[in-house]
């Protein structure tokens, strides 16, 4: 049995991954950005061990999540699933950072740094990362006109970069990224070709499998389970 923490687990892929993990006999801690959403997550996943609370769009909220999650740990696996998609305009949170970058990139970075390291780290990216452009001089779109799709693509490219950096820095940890495909969540829309259970399969497999293909680090996996070095 593994102990697993899943961010953004009140709906979508995170919620389904948590359900699959509990069904597999694992200990699972959930996460919601508010107490209401955390309570909803716990009710939606019977058998969950609890839920951390905190808004990942704000640096202070990220710290709250780290402290709350650490208090409910330790963990063998952390799945960094939480994310936001297309925002109609650039939004700045209470801490002064842009929301897409904060939730999608800064939150997994800071949580990795501030939580006790598990044996495995799984980061949710996207196939749209292939259109991402690294702009280290303007990570938060302070200088450029806002482009919602490009901001999302860039953020998911940065997630892959973070994954590879973590794998190099912490060789004792298996750190991998996952492109779950175009999944029929609230974010992906009903017309998406990949079901939510199928979208959660690869993150769950990476979190728990002892197959040789899963016991690697510094890889990007597709929803089919294929990996790229």
58-75 per-position pLDDT tens digit: 999 999 999 999 999 999
* Burial grade of 189 (CB within 10 A; 0-12, 13-18, 19 or more): exposed
Catalytic entry in 75, 156, 158, 170: 156
Q: Name the 3-class secondary structure at 50.
A: strand
Name the band, by pLDDT with cuts 50, 70 and 90, for residue 95: confident
pTM of the model: 0.95
Q: Which domains does the chain have, with CATH numbers?
A: 3-228 (3.40.50.720)
- What pLDDT is stored for residue 201 in this prediction? 96
Q: What is the DSSP letter of 53?
A: E
Catalytic entry in 152, 158, 170, 186: 152
12-61 per-position pLDDT tens digit: 999 999 999 999 999 999 999 999 999 999 999 999 999 999 999 999 99
HSE at residue 89, side-chain half, CA atoms within 13 A, is: 3
Q: Is 123 a catalytic residue?
A: no
HSE at residue 156, side-chain half, CA atoms within 13 A, is: 25
- What pLDDT is stored for residue 89 in this prediction? 96
HSE at residue 85, side-chain half, CA atoms within 13 A, is: 11
The C-alpha angle 107, 186, 206, rounded to 5 degrees, equals: 55
Q: Is 186 a catalytic residue?
A: no
């Amino acid at each position: 049995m593994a102990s697993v923490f899943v961010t953004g687990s009140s709906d979508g892929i995170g919620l389904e991954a948590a359900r699959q993990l509990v069904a597999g006999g694992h200990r699972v801690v959930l996460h919601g950005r508010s107490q209401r959403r955390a309570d909803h997550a716990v009710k939606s996943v019977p058998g969950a061990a609890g839920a951390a609370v905190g808004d990942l769009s704000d640096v202070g909220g990220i710290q709250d999540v780290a402290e709350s999650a650490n208090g409910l740990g330790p963990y063998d696996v952390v799945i960094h699933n939480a994310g936001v998609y297309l925002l109609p305009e650039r939004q700045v949170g209470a801490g002064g950072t842009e929301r897409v970058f904060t939730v999608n990139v800064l939150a997994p970075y800071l949580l990795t740094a501030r939580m006790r390291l598990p044996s495995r780290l799984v980061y949710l990216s996207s196939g749209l990362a292939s259109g991402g452009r690294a702009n280290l001089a303007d990570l938060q779109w302070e200088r450029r006109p806002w482009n919602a799709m490009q901001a999302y693509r860039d953020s998911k490219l940065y997630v892959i970069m973070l994954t590879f950096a973590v794998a190099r820095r912490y060789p004792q940890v298996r750190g991998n990224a996952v492109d779950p495909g175009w999944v029929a969540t609230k974010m992906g829309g009903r017309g998406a070709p990949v079901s939510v259970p199928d979208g959660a399969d690869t993150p769950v497999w990476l979190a728990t499998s002892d197959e040789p293909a899963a016991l690697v680090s510094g890889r990007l996996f597709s929803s089919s389970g294929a990996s790229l070095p």
